[in-house]
């Protein structure tokens, strides 16, 4: 069974009540429930984690290096600033899909560049919680194709 790591960065623990006009009113717990339901249908094991601390996210990536087959990540604000998280995603050396609830390209100029996306196979932005489900489906297809060619 494939294992997917789902990481959420700073402030995503308050999704659902924080700026609902930007991020919607769906909580992170509800997003994770939907992901677990979809993962069960896809026969994929999930580990979901959220942290406001860059080092914690990096530690989890290192811990999952030999366990997880891919990573679905919403780095939050770290996506625009964190070379350390970018390096950890590269060292993870498995397929990564980056997801953002809001359309970062329709927001402030400093949000339009995502440093961490350099380590991602793809980026989904602006589709709200559905972006996570689409990202998981794409990641599972990528992992299956990779395992099939091994």
Catalytic residue among 23, 80, 105, 110: 23
Q: Would you call 53 a catalytic residue per the annotation?
A: no
Segment (H or E) for 83: helix 83-92
Contact (Cβ atoms closer than 8 angstroms) between residue 98 and residue 116: yes
From 65, 69, 80, 100, active-site residue: 100
- Cα–Cα distances in Å, from 25 out to 20, 21, 57, 133? 5, 8, 24, 17
Contact 47, 57 (CB under 8 A): no
Residue 13 phi/psi, 5° resolution? -65, -20
Q: Is residue 23 annotated as a catalytic residue, yes or no?
A: yes
Residues 6+ apart with CB under 8 A from 107: 22
Q: What residues act catalytically?
A: 23, 100
């Amino acid at each position: 069974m494939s294992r997917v790591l789902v990481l959420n960065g700073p402030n995503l623990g308050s999704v659902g009540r924080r700026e609902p006009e930007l991020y919607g009113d769906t909580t992170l717990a509800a997003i994770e429930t939907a992901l677990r339901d979809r993962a069960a249908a896809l026969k994929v094991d999930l580990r979901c984690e959220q942290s406001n601390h860059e080092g914690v996210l990096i530690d989890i990536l290192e811990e999952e290096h030999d366990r997880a087959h891919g990573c679905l990540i919403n780095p939050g604000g770290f996506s625009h600033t964190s070379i350390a998280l970018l390096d950890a995603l590269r060292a993870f050396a498995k397929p990564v899909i980056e997801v953002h609830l809001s359309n970062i390209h329709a927001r402030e100029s400093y949000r339009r560049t995502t440093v961490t996306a350099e380590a991602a196979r793809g980026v989904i932005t602006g589709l709200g919680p559905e972006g996570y489900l689409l990202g998981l489906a794409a990641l599972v297809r990528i992992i299956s194709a990779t395992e099939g060619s091994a």
